[in-house]
Each structure stands twice: as structure tokens, then as C-alpha cells.
Amino acid sequence: MCIMNRLKRYLAASVSVFAIMSQICAAEINLVPVPRKCMERSGTFMLTPDTKICLSPRSDGMMTAVSSWNSLMVSSFGKALAVIPEQNSAGSIRCILTDEIENPEGYRLEVTGSSVTIHARNPAGVFYAFQTLRQLLPPEAENIARDKPADSFSIPCLEIEDSPEFPYRGIMLDAARHFIPKEEVKTCIDIMAFHKLNVLHWHLTDDQGWRIEIKKYPKLTTVGGFRDKTIIGHARGPKPYKWNMSRYGGFYTQEDIKEVLDYAEERFVTVIPEIEMPGHSVAALSAYPEYSCSGGPFEVEGRWGIFNDVFCCKEKTFGFLQDILDEVTALFPSEYVHIGGDECPRVRWDNCTHCQARMKEEGLSSSNDLQIYFMNRIEEYLNSKGKRIIGWDEIMDGDISGRAVVMSWRGEKGGIKAAKNGYDAIMTPNEYMYFNRYQYDPSLEPLANGGFVPLEKVYDYHPVPEILNDEEARHIKGVQANLWTEYITSEDQLEYMLFPRTAALSEVAWSCPENRNYDNFLQRLPLILKHYSAMGINYCRWIFSSREDK
């Protein structure tokens, strides 16, 4: 459907929809995600290099809340805005913490001709108010190739009251199949923050690569971080496979990790590491085959899929994994560590003397019970270090503790089961939230995993299933999109798959359902795309098209 058809559909919408949307955002205010309440006023506020930011209180958290805004000001004006203790001075941006704002991430923003005032409960709310201001600036404020500093920017006068629908608003980046340079990870974090998303789930290990430096086990990266070949074409294509025989890989040093975490902290993004176990572990076993059932040898996989060689359940394997987790938890301040738990074949366990002995010792009747034992033991260890686990919905196949969080990817069933049993859940169903799937016509797009998740389908997703009652629904903590990278070959392609679907995700995660309207979203989106262009983001440009338009 072309843009004109979409606009015709919008004009044919009911009068009630117009009445609702006029209370949300005026036509000139193009914010994504759409705020809860937005009233436009006459006039503009002139932002200049002499505008001051007044903080009350002037705390470390408040300084963090304005730091990325001031980085933008350095790019725009050639200098940061002065940050001073709160005072009622004309021409300033006043940031005030108050208990009057109930939501910990909520804010109230008032822009008049003479000043900007932000009220929030916490620094996070101040930060999100600045992200709103950022979107209200003209796109040229984002220009990373500016020839000379700007003189001023105008911001429309308005009043906004806003807060998120969900506390968990995430994107998963798979750095194991395609290594994502740290600067690109930071770019993704910046655009996440631009859209008020707050969790980066960083998939760091898999069969095709181990990406995080573990000082006690250096071969995890020197061996497990590189593969000697990569399949050409789709893994479901005809055999025999064709191979690219170029050595491929890379990894993040612990200093790289700290740099990314510092960048994320300044943008109020929590980074959750994922260390896959017990399956998807061939890269680790290539480096340390003694923690497998057979003893190897193995090579880092160049093909996509599920592989039979997994971590063995012998005692020394648990020591190995605990050593790894000691370094991971020391690096990442997140309350959570994602430990996978998905797609684990048990054929090796069924024929392994160590695993069979473990089952006998623990009184386990099946290899399924052995995986439950494995996950519970790792969870217990992480709990002892003050961490909670997140696992893919396969962890619901057995008994897990009430502290575990379920990530529902095989549709919504895992999340529904979790919520009904009193567990917290994050919804990431593959039919709506897998950004590695095609978004337009496969013949015109880069090779992808398969399936079809266009922009409108992302936007139309509702994370709380109707089958849940109010008490159960409270266990749905949020929503996440996943970008698996089997078929990603460059940073441009990674951005193409993420944007602007990430904009649609942000409205699913942040905006209240009654304020969401896809046609209105499409009217707001073009200005956001201009911001993307000014930032140098390679977004998908088929968004106002359909398969029939090709």
C-alpha cells in the first residue's frame, strides 16, 4: 500500500480517533514514541549556545541525565551548554526532581517562549524529557558532518506528560554470528535511547563465535572467537554447501565492554549479557574440548543451526562456567544475566558416562530433567552473586525458581505459562519481534532468515495477551525485538534490519495502547526518518510500500 493509500485510510478513520489523537500530539509534533498527553501552545523557545541547564538537585545522576544532550550540543553549537544549580533564570532549561511524578521514568515537560521546565521523579525521567526535546529539534541538529556551528534552534511551545507502559523495553543484538564492532553497538544504543528503549540484550556467545574476553580462559576468544569458513547462501539451501573460506571473527576485550557499558549508562540503557548454555556452545568447546561429552576435537561452526555437541554435565564443567560467570558478573552491573537454555539437543548426554552418572547421583529420570538440573544449578550460583537469570522459554519445560525471568520467543505460550505460574516474562514472539525476518519483498531485500515481519506487524503487536487476568498481566514486564545475525554481513545491513522497525517497537513498549494508531504513526515517522538520515543511519526505505507496489 503506497503512502497516498495510507493517508486515504487515515482520512476515512472515525471522528473519535481524530478526537483522541488531537489530545495526544498535534500534527506539527512528530514524536516517536507518542507521549501520553501532549498539548501544543503558540510560540517557540530559542535554544542557543548561551542557554543554561539548571539542575535541582545538581547530583551525579542528574549530570548523567544531561550528558548525552550536551554531547549533541557540542556537535551542534561547538560547545556544551553550561550546567548550573537550579535558579529561575530566563532562557534556561530547568530540571527539577519531584515526588509529584509517580512513574520512576516519567516526566512533565513544559516549553514556553522564555524557558523549558522538566519535572521528573528520577534522573531517568529527566533524560527521557531531553530525548523528547531532541526529537523536537530540527533534523539538522543531528548532522554529524556539520561544516560550522549552528547559531540557534527553535523548539515549539507545548506541554507533555509522559511515562512508559512497560519497565523493560529492549533490543537483542546477536554479536556471535556477525561480530558487531563496538562503535556500531554504541550507535544502536544511541538510537535506542532516542526512542526511549532501555535494555540492550547482548548475545555474546554461540556456536559460531565467542565474543567476550575471559582472562582466565584466553582461548575462548583466540580460538573460539574466529571461524575458518562461513556458509554461502541460506542454510536451508541445496547441498553440498558452498563455503567462504576466509577467516572471520573478532571479540570484545574487557576494556571494550567497559567502554560500551559507560556509553550505555549515560543513555540510561541497561546492558544484559547472554552467555549461552548448555547448548549453542561449539565455539567454547572448540577452545576447551575437555568440557564436552566426547572430548572433541571441534571447530568453530561456519554453518547456522543447532548442533549436538553441548556442555557436558560433569563437575569440572560447572567450575569452568562459574569461572566465566565470575568475570561476566564483575563486568556487567545489570541485575540480570541471560543464560540461554534454548535448543539444546541431548543426544550426547544420553550416551555420556559422566552425564548418566550425574543423573543417577541426582535421581533424575530423563535428560530433560538433567537440563533442568543444569539450569537450576547455574541459576543458584548466579543468585549467590546477587544476580537473576533470564532464559528463553524452554526453561519453562521444568521447575524453575520464582526469581527466573522467562523470555517468550516461540510465540506467546511461554510468556502466558510463566505469567499464570507467577513468573515474570518478557514478550519477544518470533512472528512479531524477530527483526532478522524480511520486511518487504524477499527478491528486493538482502538475504534474511525467512518469514515476514513488516513495520505494521511490529506496530500492531500487544505484549499483554488478552487471556491473562489483571494479576497475571502484571508479570509481563515488557517487550523485546531480536536481531539474529546469521545473514548480516555489514553494519549498513544491520541498521537496515533494525530501522525503522525499532521506531514501531518503541511505541509498542512505551506508549499506552489507547494512544497508538498506525496511520498517525506513519504521519509522524517521516520527520523521524530525517533525523535518521542526519545521523547517518541506513534505514529501510520501503516502509510506505507493500509487496503489491514492487
Beta carbons within 8 Å of 499's beta carbon, 6+ residues apart: 191, 532, 537, 538, 539, 540
CA 200, 205, 210: angle at the middle one, nearest 5?
Answer: 125
Rounded to whole angstroms, how far apart are CA atoms 213 and 256?
9
CA distances from 77 to 68, 314, 536 (A): 14, 60, 19
Residue ranges of alpha helices (H) inside 137-165 are: none
Question: 116-120 and 107-111 as β-strands: parallel, antiparallel, unpaired?
Answer: antiparallel
CA 54, 55, 59: angle at the middle one, nearest 5?
Answer: 150
SS (H, E, C) 397-451: HCCCCCCCEEEECCCCHHHHHHHHCCCEEEECCHHHHECCCECCCHHHCCCCCCC
Rounded to whole angstroms, how far apart are CA atoms 100 and 444?
51
In the numeric block, the cell 527478491 is attached to 443
300 within 8 A of 349, measured Cβ to Cβ: no
Does the annotation count 280 as an active-site position?
A: yes
DSSP labels, 268-309: T-EEEEEEEESSS-HHHHHH-GGGSSS--------S-S--S-
94 within 8 A of 56, measured Cβ to Cβ: yes
Tell me the longest C-alpha to C-alpha distance in the chain. Answer: 77
Rounded to whole angstroms, how far apart are CA atoms 222 and 257?
17
Rounded to whole angstroms, how far apart are CA atoms 10 and 455?
17
Does the annotation count 183 as an active-site position?
A: no
Rounded to whole angstroms, how far apart are CA atoms 26 and 20?
11
Catalytic residue selected from 110, 165, 206, 309: 206
Task: For residue 270, report the phi and psi dihedrals to the nearest 5 degrees.
Answer: -85, 135
Provide the terminal-to-terminal Cα distance of the chain, rounded to the nearest Å. Answer: 10
Alpha-carbon torsion 340, 346, 348, 349, what sign?
positive
Catalytic residue selected from 178, 195, 203, 280: 280
Catalytic residue selected from 259, 343, 369, 397: 343
- Active-site positions? 206, 280, 343
